[in-house]
Structure 1
Amino acid sequence: MNPVRHSGRIPARALRGTVAVLSTCGLLLTACTTIGPEQASARLSPAQAPQGAADAASTSPVPPGLQRYYGQELHWKTCPDTPAFQCTTVKAPLDYAHPDAGDINLEAARKKATRTGATRIGSLLFNPGGPGESAIDYLTAAPDKFASVNAAFERLNATYDLVALDPRGVGHSTPVDCGTDTSTAATDSGASTPSTDQKIQESAAAWAEVAAACARHAGRLLPHVGTLDAARDMDLMRALLGDEQLHYIGWSYGTYLGATYAELFPSRVGRMVLDGAVDPSLNAGSHYLSQARGHQVAWEAFATDCAARSDCPVGHSVKEAGRTLDSLVARLDRTPLRQGKDITIDGQTVLITTIFLLRAPNWPTLRQVLREALAGDTTTLQESYGGQLSDSLGVQSQTAVSCLSSTLGPRYTAAQAKAHLAELKQVAPQFGKFWVQFLTWCTSWPVPANQTAHPITAPGAAPILVVGTTRDPATPYNQAQALARQLQSGRLLTWDGDGHGAYIQGSTCIQNAVDHYLLDGRLRAAGTICTDAPDTANEPVGTAPEALTPAEMHR
């Protein structure tokens, strides 16, 4: 597969590649994090304050001023390309604080429950993360691609209508369109693997170019595509589906969206699963320092496994593997491999591909990629890299959503980013200098953040199941621990494993625990740790799933 759609150097000019590593919203907290506060601290306006929204949710079935939206009738039709699903368009206010300012279109898809009557629970909303990823595309395509996903969806679909709502600004809903091919515009002047003041300045200038294009072409939409508005859209969808409570499963960024919903509408939380959790109390700078460290941990786990293999391409110790990767990246930065007329591979391409494969996790392919690259062949690397690229609109949507949150969108000057380069390299020798380019991601964004970094407690919500993976490189385990502690009704479920996310990743223990909760309302004992071995769990209290009382399920 040719991952390049324009001539030029893949890593230096394909923003789809560099930003795609953020598309799972990999935001890690480590104990050694010391990156300082954001350039500007965002505050919620009175219209956005969570407590006010929570009060409205608990005292009125329809938020004030939104009757015409909550009272609309949905017209479901067979989806053109996926006849097993029905599609519809939802009208939502562009600005929830001023509903008379105009509408925005939201697209949704559903697969009706295969059983009806008393066994039907309601609707189960999905969000695969991102931000910028289409929930509709995930729900309609994933079962055909992955047998484990198909089996899980069939179980859930017996008693739930499976529903995907593309967030505003994303996918099939009204998109953020900046009128430019962001895949080239943002990095034409940049260089790979920033490690000098000049390269950091170039990265900041590239992000500023994207910001300027978005301000020109999508300025009216930009203030209204954040997570707060997307959470309000989910409540609108819940009401239009006829459900008293929102049943929901979200991965990665989808956990941030789900937690935000719980904060805004705690009394309307039903059975909610948050897998690969984001800690909403961290500012974005800390997240990216931590994400570098998270991928370092994942790399060292891979290197340890590889070292025990006679054919390991990177050596037989973690230190040797690190030196080998560093040497390969440096060599390709000095002398990129030109694999055909329009394809050039440098060190950053190798790092991006390594990040993708650590998240999968796909260690056999990563070993093959590195083995080939060390020998001057990039066939497998190109296939892996190209398969992960986001399209231009997906990149723009991701940027627009992230920059409205001080948890997701860092706003460092080039000088501030440079000051933190040494710390990034210290916590992540192989990955630290790669991540410094993202600290200036939102510095020039034309709209200030409207959501602060703060703990989310959601008092009064039904139990929320938070799932964490011990060596998750993108949203590492201590973030799941943190979110479960913050949520007053949080319950942590742990998978001692690798890769990003746990549900539908091969652990039968995790699979059963999540399914029990979604289908039967039963939770594993607090402190449950699942191992890689199927059907095994180390539970400190009891062995059977814990039944919830009606009061717990509906508080």
Structure 2
Amino acid sequence: MRRLVLTVSTALLAATLPAQALAQEQTREQVQASPHFAQTIAWGPCTDLPPPAAALECGTYRAPQDWRTPGNGKDITIAVSRLKPKSGQARGSVLTNPGGPGGPGRLLPIVYESRSKLVDNFEIIGIDPRGTGASTNVTCANFDFLSLADPRDRSRANVKLLYDAAELQATACQHHSGEFGKVVNTEQTVKDLDLLRHLLGREKISWIGYSGGTWMGAYYATYFPNRVDKFVLDSNTEFTTTFQDIFDEFGRGFERRFRVDFLPWVAKYDSLYHLGTTPEQVRQKYEEIRAKLAETPIQLPDGSLFTSVAFDLTLVQAQYSKHSFPPAAALFSRLDQNTATASAASADIRYPDAPTATLYAITCNDTRFKGGRGYLAEEAERLGRQYPLIGYYQILAPCAFWNRPPLQLKTPTGKGVPPVLMVQSVRDPATPLEGAQRAHEKFADSRMITVADEGDHGIYGFGNPCVDDLVESFIVDGKVPPKDITCPGMPLPDPTTTTTLDTKPSLVPGWL
């Protein structure tokens, strides 16, 4: 009887509605019949997260492993969190993402606890996207090709080792992640997000995404433009191009931040760090220490080695936030004093985190990757000569050896999407201004807040009052800036007068 009613209903609609409306109605019927859309999220304490998560509730929901075949019985788990308003009913839901791509995000809502205007009106949702965190995972079996060879060594044997290792990285990731690894991509993830929107009971959602989360937000808006309320894209990838193009801009972004902000700042406090009184003296000291580590790495208490690569990546990670400058400079100084007798310097050295399996799955699955070993070697030398801090590094080299599944993402144009608000510092190291501006130009009706004299990666919610007020006016009050806006940046820390530990929660679990 139900089947007959649906058939008659569809016939009547076909006679009265245009084809697009009929397709939407058919999709609605399919959604209502799917068990994935009938489930509920059982919220409870976040028992698997550290103590700061006490203010959050956690839960999970099921999504199809492959949205192309949602009824085949193969499901995955998506883990989520929420920060509820302290009093009253939430007006809506703000989904959040810290980047990565593919970084776990259930802790991110804690950042907004003090943003009373936001949290008094909305529930803030954190998400571990498919492939990572407490959600169903992909894995590379802890293989990390970046640690195996120094990319500045351009000898024939070392270059071969670099790309042999990248090929082995691709093999390890795809072998150990199996069939699931083929469907860890942005198209599948945004469909997981739209299922979450439905389970939260919202017709539309708002979004705060940082770095790789701007890519995800732009693509959700592209696939589900009618579900978009107020979207904030902070520290923008060039989401209108490929991941290869995005990661090739790392050299430019990190070198600029290193030379314009970090090196002069270290030189300013030479009385504290003793690394040089000019930026060039500090840079030469970096090269000197790096050369010593390349020859004789430091053995750490756990038996691992702190190498020239580790030194590079430690300084690279410090460029994301000005609050990381003091601890990075202190380590830099201790290395200078103790490279000959390394044990005294090694107590609080930690090897930087490797890229995640989810990062490789998303970046290698989502967009094409051009060139083989010869092309990569030429590009590394070209970019390395221009940007020696990280230009030689090719984090996405495994994508050259990836068995990419057939996937053609829709193109983000912004057409049909409500205005989105982009936030961008002028010396962002990981997502440089130039790429953000190109994305802004190509994404129709977007607005950009440019943060002048600033290089932090991740601005909203981290102490810039101009940006904080504009973002909350946009999300909470619905005020769309009539044109692009400029906000002032925040000053670099003074390590001689304040405690300057990096208390900023990580927004970069991988690289973007």
With the length of structure 1 as denominator, give the TM-score of the two structures: 0.76
CA offset digits 1:37-92 (Å, max 9, x no partner): xxxxxxxxxxxxxxxxxx78993595674431223333333333555333222121
Report the Cα distance in structure 2 between the residues aligned to 1:151 and 1:86, rounded to whole angstroms: 17
Report the Cα distance in structure 2 between the residues aligned to 1:124 and 1:103, rounded to whole angstroms: 25
SS in 2 for 1:107: strand
Shift of 1:95: 1.6
Report the Cα distance in structure 1 between the residues aligned to 2:490 and 2:147, rounded to whole angstroms: 47
Contact kept? 1:191, 1:202, Cα under 8 Å = no
SS in 1 for 2:249: helix
SS in 1 for 2:401: coil
**Aligned counterpart in structure 1 of residue 100 of structure 2, from 130, 134, 139:** 130
Shift of 1:353: 0.6
Assess, with a 3 A threshold, how the Cα gap between structure 1 residues 247 and 336 changes in structure 2: closer, same or farther. Answer: same
Shift of 1:428: 0.6
Contact kept? 1:495, 1:530, Cα under 8 Å = yes
Report the Cα distance in structure 1 between the residues aligned to 2:29 and 2:385, rounded to whole angstroms: 51
Counterpart residue identity of residue 465, structure 2: T
CA offset digits 1:273-315 (Å, max 9, x no partner): 0001111233333323311111100111222333344436443
Query: Is there any run of 5+ residues in structure 1 with no aligned partner, and where?
Result: 1-54, 144-148, 535-555
Instruction: Indicate the structure whose relative CO is greater, using CA pairs within 8 Å and at least 6 residues apart.
Output: 1
SS in 2 for 1:244: coil
Report the Cα distance in structure 1 between the residues aligned to 2:219 and 2:254, rounded to whole angstroms: 26
CA offset digits 1:6-60 (Å, max 9, x no partner): xxxxxxxxxxxxxxxxxxxxxxxxxxxxxxxxxxxxxxxxxxxxxxxxx789935
Counterpart residue identity of residue 58, structure 2: C
Shift of 1:189: 5.3
Match of 1:356 in 2: 317
Match of 1:150 in 2: 113
Shift of 1:347: 1.2
**Aligned counterpart in structure 2 of residue 287 of structure 1, from 241, 246, 252:** 246
Report the Cα distance in structure 1 between the residues aligned to 2:411 and 2:131, rounded to whole angstroms: 26
**Aligned counterpart in structure 1 of residue 67 of structure 2, from 96, 108, 120:** 96
Report the Cα distance in structure 2 between the residues aligned to 1:115 and 1:57, rounded to whole angstroms: 42
1:505 pairs with 2:462: yes
1:201 pairs with 2:173: no
Match of 1:447 in 2: 404
1:372 pairs with 2:334: yes
1:428 pairs with 2:390: no
1:327 pairs with 2:288: yes
Report the Cα distance in structure 1 between the residues aligned to 2:434 and 2:68, rounded to whole angstroms: 35
Shift of 1:367: 2.2
Report the Cα distance in structure 1 between the residues aligned to 2:241 and 2:283, rounded to whole angstroms: 29
Match of 1:306 in 2: 266
Report the Cα distance in structure 1 between the residues aligned to 2:327 and 2:406, rounded to whole angstroms: 39
Assess, with a 3 A threshold, how the Cα gap between structure 1 residues 61 and 79 changes in structure 2: closer, same or farther. Answer: farther
Report the Cα distance in structure 2 between the residues aligned to 1:103 and 1:298, rounded to whole angstroms: 43
Assess, with a 3 A threshold, how the Cα gap between structure 1 residues 86 and 62 changes in structure 2: closer, same or farther. Answer: farther
Match of 1:164 in 2: 126
1:528 pairs with 2:488: no
Report the Cα distance in structure 2 between the residues aligned to 1:418 and 1:493, rounded to whole angstroms: 37
Report the Cα distance in structure 1 between the residues aligned to 2:336 and 2:275, rounded to whole angstroms: 9
Tell me the matched-pair count: 458
**Aligned counterpart in structure 1 of residue 415 of structure 2, from 459, 469, 478:** 459
Counterpart residue identity of residue 300, structure 1: R
Contact kept? 1:337, 1:345, Cα under 8 Å = yes
Assess, with a 3 A threshold, how the Cα gap between structure 1 residues 384 and 87 changes in structure 2: closer, same or farther. Answer: same
SS in 1 for 2:319: helix
Report the Cα distance in structure 1 between the residues aligned to 2:451 and 2:137, rounded to whole angstroms: 35
Shift of 1:406: 2.1
Report the Cα distance in structure 2 between the residues aligned to 1:371 and 1:177, rounded to whole angstroms: 36
Match of 1:78 in 2: 45
Contact kept? 2:246, 2:435, Cα under 8 Å = no
Contact kept? 1:313, 1:367, Cα under 8 Å = no
Contact kept? 1:403, 1:449, Cα under 8 Å = no
1:389 pairs with 2:319: no
Contact kept? 2:60, 2:78, Cα under 8 Å = yes
The answer to which of 97-106 and 315-324 deviates more is 315-324
Match of 2:451 in 1: 495
Counterpart residue identity of residue 55, structure 2: A
Match of 2:213 in 1: 254
Counterpart residue identity of residue 306, structure 1: V
**Aligned counterpart in structure 2 of residue 59 of structure 1, from 12, 18, 24:** 24
Shift of 1:157: 1.8
1:482 pairs with 2:438: yes
Match of 1:177 in 2: 139
Contact kept? 1:278, 1:475, Cα under 8 Å = yes
Contact kept? 2:259, 2:279, Cα under 8 Å = yes
Report the Cα distance in structure 2 between the residues aligned to 1:172 and 1:130, rounded to whole angstroms: 15
1:517 pairs with 2:482: no
Report the Cα distance in structure 1 between the residues aligned to 2:385 and 2:357, rounded to whole angstroms: 31
Report the Cα distance in structure 2 between the residues aligned to 1:510 and 1:284, rounded to whole angstroms: 27
Match of 1:405 in 2: 366
Match of 1:216 in 2: 175
Match of 1:346 in 2: 307
Shift of 1:360: 1.8
Contact kept? 2:143, 2:172, Cα under 8 Å = no
Contact kept? 1:57, 1:63, Cα under 8 Å = no
Counterpart residue identity of residue 374, structure 1: D
Counterpart residue identity of residue 72, structure 1: Q
Report the RMSD for the aligned CA atoms in angstroms: 2.8
Shift of 1:126: 0.9
Higher radius of gyration, 1 or 2:
2
Report the Cα distance in structure 1 between the residues aligned to 2:345 and 2:239, rounded to whole angstroms: 36
SS in 2 for 1:72: coil
Assess, with a 3 A threshold, how the Cα gap between structure 1 residues 341 and 164 changes in structure 2: closer, same or farther. Answer: closer
Match of 2:297 in 1: 336
Report the Cα distance in structure 1 between the residues aligned to 2:336 and 2:289, rounded to whole angstroms: 7
SS in 1 for 2:356: helix
Contact kept? 1:92, 1:105, Cα under 8 Å = yes
**Aligned counterpart in structure 1 of residue 188 of structure 2, from 225, 229, 234:** 229
1:277 pairs with 2:229: no
With the length of structure 2 as denominator, give the TM-score of the two structures: 0.82
Shift of 1:414: 2.0
Assess, with a 3 A threshold, how the Cα gap between structure 1 residues 439 and 215 changes in structure 2: closer, same or farther. Answer: closer
The answer to which of 473-482 and 463-472 deviates more is 473-482
Counterpart residue identity of residue 125, structure 2: V
Assess, with a 3 A threshold, how the Cα gap between structure 1 residues 307 and 405 changes in structure 2: closer, same or farther. Answer: same
Match of 2:15 in 1: none
Shift of 1:132: 3.0
Match of 2:9 in 1: none
Counterpart residue identity of residue 105, structure 1: T
